Amino acid sequence: MTQPTPYRVLVTGSRDWANAELVWAALNDVRDEALTAGRQLVVVHGACPRGADADAAHWAEIGSQFATWIKAEAHPADWALNGKAAGFIRNAEMVRLGADLCLAFIRNGSRGASHTARLAEEAGIPVRRWTAP
């Protein structure tokens, strides 16, 4: 019998996103959706050391200690190679790899998170957005 494909959730967000509880609540909902569907949960994020990416990485780290079916997939931007475009290149790559859902946490109109959410929508990936001033 074949295993179901993993439920991939792409998390994008402002590096100054300050509401970790909201990120965790959104991921708890997604965890329940994946569990109900009997699928492994893969949390895809951009590996920023602060903000929504860090919140998602921390959630996945804690979750994987209790549920072996929760995994994280980090995609750090290569600033040395790609300069100022590194974040946008990384975001496009994460979308290109595919996801079942994108969670976007956008503060102050964040260009990077807004870009990723737009690319996800264009790729047919459903996007759930949260915004903050």
- List pLDDT tens digits, range 118-127: 999 999 999 9
Inform me whether the pLDDT recorded for 2 exceeds 70.
no
Tell me the CATH number at 13.
Answer: 3.40.50.450
In total, how many domains does the chain have? 1
**What average pLDDT does this structure show over 95-119?**
97
Q: At what angle do helices 86-96 and 111-122 cross, to 10 degrees?
A: 30
Helix axes 51-66, 20-37, angle to 10 degrees: 40
Tell me: pLDDT of 1 over 80.
no
pLDDT band at 3 (very low <50, low <70, confident <90, very high): confident
Q: Do the domain assignments include residue 67?
A: yes
Residue 1: inside a domain, yes or no? no
Domain span at residue 87 reads 7-132
- In sequence order, the 6+-apart residues with CB closer than 8 A to the CB of 130 are 19, 22, 26, 103, 104, 105, 106
The answer to whether residue 2 sits within a structural domain is no
- pLDDT above 90: residue 12: yes
Encode pLDDT of 14-56 as tens digits: 999 999 999 999 999 999 999 999 999 999 999 999 999 999 9
Check residue 31 and give its pLDDT: 97
Counts for the chain of helices (H) and strands (E), in that order:
5, 5
- Supply the pTM of this predicted model: 0.95
